[in-house]
Amino acid sequence: MNQTAIFWPILAHVLLIYIVYGVMGRRRYFAVKSGEAKVGQYKVRSTEPSSSVTVANNLINQFELPVLFYVLCLALHLTNGVNYLTLALMWIFVASRYFHAWVHLTSNNLLLRSRSFFVGAVILLVAWIWFALHLLGAV
């Protein structure tokens, strides 16, 4: 299998980050334009209106658990550990991040958000276990 295929899920997650940045910029712009917020409110998150603070929080989420995803993708590439299973796991993880962001930025349904986070976290854990087994030569 082409080891560079592991970079496609990374690029897909990078795209998600830029989408969330776009949503945040748009919401902040319209909050100021509508009078809901003043520009100075964005200096401290605690004074940011709820319409955009949710997006800012989601952006933070994209740099928490996904750090483990990025490290794992690079480690798989460096050790020739990319195969159909690891690639599928990485794509499922990215799909869970897209779903999590969509829920967070729309309904913000905590049950759906937490379930999508859990799915992504478990998928990533399975992938890390597979990586450990790969390093041990067991798979």
Domains (range + CATH), the chain: 6-136 (1.20.120)
Q: Give per-residue pLDDT as tens, 114-136.
A: 999 999 999 999 999 999 999 99
Tokens of 45: 């998150």
Tell me what the mean pLDDT of segment 25-50 comes to.
89
Q: What is the 3-state secondary structure (H, E, C) of 31-50?
A: HHHHCCCCHHHHHCHHHCCH
Q: Give per-residue pLDDT as tens, 70-114.
A: 999 999 999 999 999 999 999 999 999 999 999 999 999 999 999
* pLDDT tier for residue 18 given thresholds of 50, 70 and 90: very high
pTM of the model: 0.94
112: three-class secondary structure by DSSP:
helix
Q: What is the overall mean pLDDT for the chain?
A: 96
